[in-house]
Amino acid sequence: MCAKLLILESPGKVKKVQEFLGSGWKVAASVGHVRDLPVKEMGVAAPDFKPKYIPTDRGKDILSRLAGLVKNAESVYLATDPDREGEAIAWHLQDALKLKDAKRVTYAEITEKAIKAALDVPRSIDMALVAAQEGRRVLDRFCGYMVSGPLSNAAGEKLSAGRVQSPAVRLVVEREREIQDFRSTTHYGAELTFENVDNITDGWKAVWQVKPWIEDGQEYLLDKALAEKAAALRSLEVIDCKESESRSAPPAPFTTSSLQQAASNALKFTPKQTMQLAQKLYEGGHITYMRTDSPNLSQEAVDAIRAFCEGQGWPLVEKPRSWKSKEGAQEAHEAIRPTHIEVEEAGETADEKALYRLIRLRSLASQLEDAVYAVRVLQLAADLDGKQALFEAKGRTLLSQGWKVLTAEDAAIEDSGDSAELENPVPAMKSGTSPTALSGTVLTKKTKPAARFTEASLIRELEKRGIGRPSTYAAILDTIMSRGYVKTEKRLLVPTPLGVMVVDGLRGNFSFVEYEFTRTMEQALDDIAAGKADYRSVISEAHARLEQELQAFAQATGKVCEKCGKPMVHRVKKPGKDGKGGYDFWGCTGWPECKETR
């Protein structure tokens, strides 16, 4: 026996962690998953739904190498990533390497202090987390293996169904149809421009409040002639002047989802690219773990951030901030932040450095004061066709920068829409004052359809609907685009004919493409992880429902086994090297129990 063995997930972390632990330790990597379900068969069946795992091609060699290290180790510590996937990998290592007394350790940042603290409190593998990951994998396998064949047969095209990918494609398809069906309405308004009282800046503007003038049953003002009369008004009277303050709080520190959205909007990174860069920063010890749905920071991190901000003379918020997590958040880890807040630049490439800056600024801003604005609203009135026409002039001036000393806008927001108010220098005027407009403009507007999704806004929609989880968003988008179901045009997501075909084939036939069902299933997986639900009952219920739907689909499409009633699928046996022996046939999906063919 020799050194203690610590097995990580990523080979990129090995050297750094080895330096932290020294000669009494041997650090090795599993390089992610070492086992998976078989490629050429389902690998899981009723009634117990126990998955059949085999080593992956890469996993065979890795398990062989690790087995040699295990033989010579006095104890084995499994330090795979601190999430469900990492917990499952740790269990696979324990099972495949037949480890009797493996110690599970987790940490959210690759620093010497965090790793040594984790090694002091090892635990056993959390089998509830393993069951939740296994449940996700098996449900995905059901949808892929059981549905893709019948769907392809019915469509006459090779298509694949996915438990979370198909609802994501559906969102894009439905948005596109909404855009195509949209009919634009031209409507009108009016804006008056006044000379600024001190003549220092450009004139200020007041907008006609059209709501009292809209006809019953209409949403918008359609009378252009009336708008022209409103724009021609020149003599008005101030009937009210309100002064108030508005406050803008800093955004919360990054979760996986908000980081992907902000990096898409501010840096034009794809979600996949963002996660690859964040992985590099994490492995380099620069940021905390990048898969999290909690927007809150640890007390230690808050203290360090506040101390740094105070040293810079920045305006600290009096009481440390915390945020409410979204419904269903697992909150296993704190938000994404720098491991050392005082480090201004980190990462090896320009892209890594840009992402680090985004993460650091968001973390720092989270503990600074609100930005404070002085808001002035003037209400003006004039006679229009014997009826009082109201105009409103609203201006906003920054009084105290607060968190905006660091960044003018929140990178996760595509367009705040406040710039017009900031540029409108509305003067203070007493009621009864009669300003004269210098000019007026008819505002011609057209209603617009909902915008196509960007990658960032699709992630936001998936998160809002409870489809997928932080670790899956980037993979969902990568899958639907690599399979050719969705493409990008000027950074906007557009469904392809194949994507439309998948959605139309699934809708009304399979419940997993329904948004509410998908959300409920994600909650069931969370319940398994929390020990509130049983793996076998959740999986068997989902399997039974899918089998019923498949039989109904087979009956509706005429591709049903006459012997057992299960769907038939078209199979092709490729010819051998001599070009002989190739044929195609219809086979029952109940094989091997039912061997019916046509």
| Catalytic site positions | 289
Q: What is the DSSP letter of 555?
A: H
**Which residue type sits at 118?**
A
Give the separation between CA 411 and CA 405, rounded to whole angstroms: 14
Among 491, 467, 475, smallest CA distance to 266 is for 491
**Which residue type sits at 548?**
Q
Both structure tokens of 59: 């996993």
Give the separation between CA 83 and CA 460, rounded to whole angstroms: 21
Strands (DSSP E) found in 3-64: 4-8, 25-29, 35-36, 54-55
Give the separation between CA 464 and CA 263, rounded to whole angstroms: 19
Among 236, 245, 168, smallest CA distance to 206 is for 236
**Coil, strand or helix: which one is 376?**
strand
Query: Concatenated DSSP letters for 404-467?
Result: GGT-SS-TT-S----HHHHT--PPP--TT---BEEEEEEEEEE--PPPPPPHHHHHHHHHHHT-
Strand 25-29 and strand 486-489: the pairing is unpaired
Give the separation between CA 496 and CA 224, rounded to whole angstroms: 40
Give the separation between CA 336 and CA 358, rounded to whole angstroms: 11
Give the separation between CA 455 and CA 106, rounded to whole angstroms: 31
**Coil, strand or helix: which one is 101?**
coil
Asked whether the CA dihedral 28, 33, 38, 44 is positive or negative, the reply is positive
